[in-house]
Structure 1
Amino acid sequence: MYKMMIEDLDSVFEVSPYNPRKCNSPPRSASSSQRASVVNGSSLPSDLHLALTPDCPHTISDSDPALKKDKESKIKKWKKRLSDHIRKTSSGSGPSSPMMSAHSSSSIGLRPHASLPDMKPKARTLPSSKAYSKQLNGYTSPQKDEVTQGVKQMTMAADHATNGGLLFNPRSNDEIEEEVFHNVLPVVPRKTRKLSEIAKPSSQYGRLESYSKLEELGEGSYATVFKAISRVTGNIVALKEIRLNSAEGTPFTAIREASLLKGLKHANIVTLHDIIHIPGNLTFVFEYVEIDLCRYMEKHPGPMSPNNVMLLTFQLLRGLVFCHERKVLHRDLKPQNILLNSMGELKLADFGLARAKSVPSRTYSHEVVTVWYRPPDVLLGSTKYSTSLDMWGVGCIFVEMLCGHPLFPGLKGIQDQLTKIFKVLGTPSEETWPGVTSLPEFKKGQFKNYSRKELGFVIPDLVKATGAEPIATALLQLRPGLRISAKDALYSPYFTSVLPKAIYAIDNCASIYLVPSVKFER
């Protein structure tokens, strides 16, 4: 009890600027009201009364070391005499004191409310937890523990003041906040995180060791594809490892594919799960799809089921509508870049030659699309093309699935490819295709004058499938501007007369096979 009473006198005397309870805070002179809270009602020796009065020498600020030492010595003596006086009074050996008699029925160092009828105890509120947490940002754990301990002590003192009476020297909320949040802890600047630390891969993704290779699926001119299993999710994935040349850098096709696929989330577009970069190698982690359309048709030679052709073509158009609405051209549609899983779900893949198209269209390279699926305007050197480029490829793939063989299989270069096209669709002229003669690769007299034939006459399998010939004709137009768009083709009678309306209402990321009546024939 007495120890706490003596310690509380420190806040009145403000012994020195090195007071550990103040943690190097500048000395403050006790106010008259604070000293009065100790003096009033107490029968202290006269020199102790003097020590607590406003004109006490220790309240004078002086930077002289000798005077400071003398002041500290006097304060220590006063504290000792006060301590002795308290002990004598409480044991009955000294003069009676109203203040000390009050202590006999109160808690440690506090005066009960009954002895102060006109004085209401002042409840003290500590800084909010939000402000407390804010002030602690940037400090180390030992420093936080020190602050927490200080706050606990002040909370106990505030509880005493509220429940039992007043402390000898109650301090204001501002003083407590200053002591806890400004003087107890040194100001530690917050450490700035480096960009390399922020960009570090997580423990699960962005690491090659998160995937275990199972087998090689294929190898291209600059990449190799592996079947692998994710050690994080347990799912089967496809790893596309792109070899990097230190002299040439990362292939532009890889950069283009990654940037486009990040923004194309659709049920009929292959999903890019992860990207891993290590020295000399860039790996794309794709969802695993069992087979591509080319290999599927090799395993199932001959014409495909009209139902399956319709469902696959619908999914192909559905994926292209999503791309074209976002101004993205695939530019390399062919059976090898169309993937199929065991459920009959189609996925557009290999966006290495794809690119975002601005409006109006700009000049692009004409060295795109495998020659069998390349439109005549691109074969003739046109560099101004739009979504019609992809629609020609859809027409070629659609007819190939129905008849079981490529529609225009040129074997001797571009000249032979154009000849095969013109034999079926007719040789173009300025009357049938305005501006064709101005294309870079068009030369007068280069091709024989072939007349146009009906696709159903050339490909009898088109007639067998209801509504197949009209949509094939709309897709395979020599003049780019006459080709049907992906969205218009999706709503053509070929689909709407057979497929349920619910198939048009499903979400972009949902499979068409969620519609009960839609089934792929295996």
Structure 2
Amino acid sequence: MSFHLSDAYARKLEQYELSTKLGEGTYASVFRAIHKPSSTLVALKQINLNRDEGTPCTALREISLLKELRHANIVALLDVAHTRERLTLIFEHLDCDLKQHMDACGKNLAPANVQLILYQVLRGIAYCHSKSILHRDLKPQNLLLNRATGDVKLADFGLARAFGIPVKAFSHEVVTLWYRPPDVLMGSQVYSTSIDMWSIGCIFGEMTTGRPLFAGKNVDEQLARIFKQRGTPTELTWPGVSQLPNFRGDFPVTPAVQLASIVPKMDSLGVTLLNRLLQYNPAMRVSAAEALQHVYFASIHAIVGNLPNEQSIFDRTGITMILEPPVEAAQAPAASTAAAAAAVPAPIAQQQQDISQQQQAFQDQQQRELQLTRMQQMSQFQQFQQLQAHQHLLAQPNHVVNNNNNNSSSQAHPSHLDSQFTQ
């Protein structure tokens, strides 16, 4: 009697009862299922196999990486079953993804919850980066949420890659368009952890505004939308940008918009962090480890401290998600929404007030950082004008000669002018 490993896997799959189809992609379908022996909810990702092509490389990559990653903010791969027809990945089950949660809440997340969600995303990606792994496809749909506990977990590592030093040349066709950084949009294939940090900045802004920060239909429109808000990059603001493969010298010159006006509901501490996440120059983007230490998270970090990787932040007393309105409340008329808001328990409302007061206390001591950030966000249009004036001055050969009798401090000195642009 012959024995096939696929037969053993088939018997393993018999332990699961499929219930609801959660989603479908090009290569896989995801189902909610019940593990019958333990009555535990799980998620089954079924990947149909092509006899000629074999197992998709994205699936192999996801399996190999998730077997290595063990963290409270990364979805757990519980088991794998491989039959002749399909490959099945068995994951822990979570209620929804962040996109579904934002839609259910009427795209109006409580500021304290935005803070807690972002902290967990950064915590998960910091762990990945410490293991030399880039996610490369961070977006709300790939962040899973347990509504009951508030836990957030990174998922879908199909595009994730291990990286080394020096950083390898990767494909620039990564990251869903809206969350793709400008260096990758302009064809850069040499990148590192900064690719994930730009994506996290886009998610941060989207949680606050209720809509994507940069929602282009194609690469050109995506760049145009970014430039419209962040200003058109130049060699002054982003050294080396003109060397990117798809950089065009005819990009319309657009001045930067104050970031606070783009995310009016975000407090000043959040704006300073968002600015560091959305830096044009990849080398200037804040790392995940640095972001976790930002004063925006001071009230959380004071409680969480150096939490072990396997523990949830909600294991610590004092960390609790504020009750968000249910799906029905988000879809109901305004009167029903108001009634649902009025029904929020008093202790939760008090907790939100306490967190807000803590943030306000830290704002006073961070005014210097905010002022510095605003100086760094000086209008790029003004910089462009200064550059034009500088070039015009250098184009006049008699200028310096005619001023030999003047005080030396009044002479035009190119290196002095250049220093103004690089500061």
Match of 1:481 in 2: 283
For each residue in 1:394-452, what CA deviation from the matched residue of structure 2 results, as whole angstroms up to 9, or x when unmatched?
Answer: 100001101111100112x100000000111111112221221121111211x200112
By how many angstroms is 1:205 displaced? 9.6
1:338 pairs with one of 120, 123, 143: 143
SS in 1 for 2:65: helix
Distance 2:210 2:60 in 1: 35
Alignment check: 8 A CA contact 2:30 2:46 kept: yes
1:376 pairs with one of 172, 176, 182: 182
Letter in 2 for 1:298: D
In the superposition, relative to structure 1, how do residues 306 and 443 fare at CA in structure 2: closer, same or farther (>3 Å)? same
Deviation larger for 202-211 or 262-271: 202-211
Whether 1:419 aligns to 2:221 is no
1:265 pairs with one of 70, 77, 91: 70
SS in 1 for 2:206: helix
In the superposition, relative to structure 1, how do residues 352 and 204 fare at CA in structure 2: closer, same or farther (>3 Å)? closer
1:428 pairs with one of 230, 233, 236: 233
SS in 2 for 1:217: strand
Match of 1:143 in 2: none
Alignment check: 8 A CA contact 2:230 2:257 kept: yes
Whether 1:362 aligns to 2:163 is no
Match of 1:396 in 2: 202
Match of 1:154 in 2: none
SS in 1 for 2:221: helix
Whether 1:519 aligns to 2:323 is no
SS in 1 for 2:204: helix
Match of 2:212 in 1: 406
By how many angstroms is 1:261 displaced? 0.1
Match of 1:453 in 2: 257
Distance 2:12 2:319 in 1: 39
In the superposition, relative to structure 1, how do residues 468 and 282 fare at CA in structure 2: closer, same or farther (>3 Å)? same
SS in 2 for 1:207: helix
Runs of 4+ deviating beyond 4 Å? 199-206
Alignment of 1:122-521 (within 5 A): 200=5, 207-342=12-147, 343-411=149-217, 413-445=218-250, 447-462=251-266, 465-496=267-298, 498-521=299-322
Alignment of 1:84-99 (within 5 A): none
Distance 1:223 1:500 in 2: 38
In the superposition, relative to structure 1, how do residues 433 and 271 fare at CA in structure 2: closer, same or farther (>3 Å)? same
For each residue in 1:197-247, what CA deviation from the matched residue of structure 2 results, as whole angstroms up to 9, or x when unmatched?
Answer: 8x9589799821121111111111110000101123221000000011111
Alignment check: 8 A CA contact 2:197 2:285 kept: yes
Specify the structure having the higher radius of gyration (Cα): 1
Distance 2:74 2:6 in 1: 26
In the superposition, relative to structure 1, how do residues 482 and 205 fare at CA in structure 2: closer, same or farther (>3 Å)? farther
Percent identity over paired residues: 47
Structure 2: which 5+ runs fail to align? Answer: 324-423
SS in 2 for 1:221: coil
SS in 2 for 1:283: strand
SS in 2 for 1:467: helix
SS in 2 for 1:259: helix
Alignment check: 8 A CA contact 2:186 2:244 kept: yes
Match of 2:348 in 1: none
Letter in 1 for 2:193: T
SS in 1 for 2:121: helix
Distance 1:202 1:401 in 2: 46
Alignment check: 8 A CA contact 1:206 1:274 kept: no
Aligned length: 321
Distance 2:308 2:55 in 1: 35
For each residue in 1:446-468, what CA deviation from the matched residue of structure 2 results, as whole angstroms up to 9, or x when unmatched?
Answer: x2001122200232122xx2511
Structure 1: which 5+ runs fail to align? Answer: 1-195
Distance 1:511 1:453 in 2: 37
By how many angstroms is 1:252 displaced? 0.7
